[in-house]
Amino acid sequence: MIAKSKVKTLPSPQPSPLLEAVTTLAKVLEAENGALRQSDFGASGALADAKRLAIVSLESLTLHQPPSPSLMPEALHRRLDSAIEQNRLLLRRSIDTQQRVIATILQAIDPEPADQHYPGQNGAETSHRHTAPVALTLRA
């Protein structure tokens, strides 16, 4: 017969709310970065609420007292810093891309100067053709 050991096992430590908040933010940023790398603006936009919630959660934990560097493992700190930096660069690139797309569309619908040899309505000279208004809706 095997005797049972009387060694007590300690319960595993509960993860700190700060570590959970930092890990969640890092995961959301990494997911958004992946979508931005693929220029999948729909997927990156779908993460906006999760990103906002993760940021608010982390801010609420550090509002009155900044966390001590000793409370966060160095690897997690580097992971979050890297995700934040990549996110900044990828968002800037995405915004530049969107601005170029919008500029291209606007350039395509911009009226060209009319031929000055032909009179406009009631014989008046016109400098531009009339163009119908255009509405543009972009969704992330």
Kindly list the domain boundaries of the chain, sorted by start residue: 17-109
Bridge partners (DSSP) listed for residue 113? 128
* pTM of the complete model beyond 0.75: no
Question: Residue 115 has what pLDDT?
Answer: 52
Question: Residue 110 has what pLDDT?
Answer: 74
Ordered per-residue pLDDT tens for the chain, 140 residues: 555 556 566 555 667 888 999 999 999 999 999 999 999 999 999 999 999 999 999 999 888 777 777 778 899 999 999 999 999 999 999 999 889 989 888 888 875 655 555 555 555 555 555 555 656 566 55
Question: Residue 106 has what pLDDT?
Answer: 87
Question: Residue 99 has what pLDDT?
Answer: 92
Reduce the DSSP state of residue 78 to 3 states and report it. Answer: helix
